[in-house]
């Protein structure tokens, strides 16, 4: 930090040179600007932007895997007259498309969340952040926002391609297609939020404690599949209390229950339905786990800042 006194440099022979350093005279942007900068920096890191080519391979491959099926369905709309969301197959109907994009989002989150948090601890970057007007909550908020923004775009961009693409061939025109298909937008947004929070919070929590990116990704995926396996050991139509307690902990399935709830679909005999719990319990579990993650992460980081 500058003190306002002209800095000087002395060489080995004793000559003094004025390097012309001056104090900062511009506007001090404070914490909001620092948070915005960390959000941008985290997003660039997660996507491998301005970094070596190999860091771009995994995130952009997953993005391509999410976008290509949606673009393929849209392309078919220009080949088959009268194509609709319902007869476009698993990639066309928004509710069914979540079965595909949701699994990809889990892998994407497994890659992004550790990349946002762990390198800062490995490389001593937290000490630099701590020297700025940044609090622990500011840092965690910025990293969490990066994860939410990237994961949301990962899921919403393919849905937007489907929405606009298939609306172009509506029998009454593009605007009528937007209006008719737009009825599903609230359900799409709500389900996206459920997947982003439901899958993002556990990944964030694992990354708070793990020491290596690859290790954190592996632990998170293992945790998700272990929670998913609960459906195999839970009897159908059971009233036993132990299963009713375990069902909301099946974090892999909670977003799916929210999807069925928001799209008014028949439940697919997932955990909550097996034990007779309403789908909103899945939404409550998602929010509860996100809150617990925030509290634990803040407790973990508050000693650093």
pLDDT for position 9 = 47
As a 3-state breakdown, the chain gives helix, strand, coil percent values, each rounded to 5, of 70, 0, 30
pLDDT for position 291 = 97
pLDDT for position 270 = 83
Residue 89, sorted as left (phi over 0), alpha (psi -120 to 50) or beta, turns out to be left
- The token pair at 71 is 């673009």
Q: Which residue has the higher pLDDT, 124 or 78?
A: 124
User: For residue 83, is pLDDT > 60?
Assistant: no
pLDDT in tens, 234-251: 888 888 889 889 899 999
pLDDT in tens, 117-170: 999 998 888 888 777 778 899 999 999 999 999 999 999 999 999 888 878 777
pLDDT for position 8 = 46
User: For residue 90, is pLDDT > 60?
Assistant: no
pTM of the model: 0.85
**Integer Cα distance of 37 and 242 in angstroms:** 46
Q: Which residue has the higher pLDDT, 133 or 82?
A: 133
**What mean pLDDT is predicted for residues 190-214?**
96
**What mean pLDDT is predicted for residues 289-303?**
94
* Whether 224 contacts 199, CB under 8 Å: yes
**What mean pLDDT is predicted for residues 257-273?**
88
What are the backbone dihedrals phi and psi of residue 8, each rounded to the nearest 5 degrees, phi first?
Answer: -140, 160
pLDDT for position 208 = 95
Q: Which residues of 251-268 are buried (b: 16+ CB within 10 A; e: fewer)?
A: bbbbbbbbbbbbbeeeee
CA nearest 116: which of 48, 30, 63? Answer: 48
* Whether 254 contacts 288, CB under 8 Å: no
235 in helix, strand or coil? Answer: coil
Q: What is the mean pLDDT of the chain?
A: 85
**What mean pLDDT is predicted for residues 79-85?**
56
CA nearest 271: which of 287, 284, 255? Answer: 255
Q: Which residue has the higher pLDDT, 25 or 284?
A: 284
**What mean pLDDT is predicted for residues 54-72?**
91
Lowest mean pLDDT across 80-94, 167-181, 183-197, 279-293: 80-94
């Amino acid at each position: 930090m500058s003190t306002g006194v002209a800095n000087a440099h002395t060489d080995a022979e004793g000559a003094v040179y004025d390097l012309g350093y001056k104090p900062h005279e511009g506007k001090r942007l404070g914490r909001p600007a620092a948070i915005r900068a960390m959000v941008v920096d985290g997003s660039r890191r997660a996507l491998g932007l301005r970094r070596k080519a190999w860091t771009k391979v995994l995130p952009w491959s997953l993005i391509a895997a999410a976008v290509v099926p949606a673009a393929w369905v849209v392309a078919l709309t220009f080949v088959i007259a009268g194509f609709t969301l319902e007869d476009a197959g698993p990639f066309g109907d928004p509710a069914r498309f979540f079965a595909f994009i949701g699994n990809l989002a889990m892998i994407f989150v497994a890659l992004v969340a550790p990349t946002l948090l762990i390198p800062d601890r490995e490389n001593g970057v937290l000490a630099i952040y701590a020297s700025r007007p940044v609090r622990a909550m500011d840092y965690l908020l910025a990293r969490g926002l990066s994860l939410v923004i990237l994961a949301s775009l990962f899921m919403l961009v393919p849905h937007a391609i489907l929405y606009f693409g298939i609306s172009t061939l509506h029998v009454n025109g593009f605007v009528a297609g937007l209006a008719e298909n737009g009825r599903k937008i609230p359900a799409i947004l709500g389900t996206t939020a459920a997947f982003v929070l439901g899958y993002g919070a556990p990944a964030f929590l694992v990354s708070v404690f793990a020491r290596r990116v690859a290790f954190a990704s592996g632990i998170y995926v293992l945790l998700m599949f272990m929670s998913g396996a609960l459906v195999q050991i839970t009897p159908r139509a059971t009233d036993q209390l132990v299963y009713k307690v375990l069902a909301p902990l099946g974090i892999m399935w909670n977003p799916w229950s929210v999807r069925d709830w928001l799209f008014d679909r028949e439940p697919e005999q997932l955990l909550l339905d097996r034990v007779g719990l309403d789908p909103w319990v899945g939404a409550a579990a998602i929010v509860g786990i996100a809150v617990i993650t925030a509290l634990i992460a803040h407790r973990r980081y508050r000693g650093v800042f």
